[in-house]
């Protein structure tokens, strides 16, 4: 069953549009209402030609039961612009390694 706009009941994905260097990129994002942070896959970020700057301290990520993930995520602050969940151009999104957590 699918709800409008493009939301599957079995997996809560929504279609999002990102403005990157004056180019719009449309992709799917997973809605995780229990997440403390916004995350994006590193491979996707590189493919989208996002300007990545490594943070001094990587983001520590825990599983739902509180256990830390074996490999911590490398974190890069990303400026955002336009409408959506991010209200400020200074809000950071964290990038995970390949196979890590996606947006």
pLDDT (tens, 9 = 90+) of the chain, 103 residues, equals 444 555 556 678 888 888 887 888 898 888 877 777 777 888 888 888 887 777 777 777 787 788 887 765 666 665 544 444 433 334 445 555 444 433 3
Distance CA 71, CA 43 (A): 16
Tell me how far the alpha carbon of residue 32 is from its chain's centroid: 11
What's the number of CA atoms in the CB half-sphere (13 Å) around residue 81? 9
Through-space distance between the first and last CA atoms of the chain, rounded to whole angstroms: 22
Distance CA 66, CA 93 (A): 21
Residue 26 forms beta bridges with which residues?
Answer: 17
pTM for the model stands at 0.52
User: For position 6, what pLDDT does the model report?
Assistant: 58
């Amino acid at each position: 069953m699918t709800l409008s706009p493009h939301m599957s009941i079995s997996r809560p994905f929504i279609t999002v549009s990102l403005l990157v260097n004056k180019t719009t990129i449309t992709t799917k994002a997973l809605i995780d209402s229990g997440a403390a942070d916004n995350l994006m896959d590193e491979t996707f970020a590189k493919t989208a030609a996002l300007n990545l700057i490594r943070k001094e301290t990587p983001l520590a990520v825990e599983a739902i039961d509180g256990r830390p993930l074996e490999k911590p995520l490398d974190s890069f602050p990303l400026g955002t612009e336009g409408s959506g969940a991010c209200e400020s151009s200074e809000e950071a999104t964290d990038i995970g390694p390949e196979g890590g957590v996606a947006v």
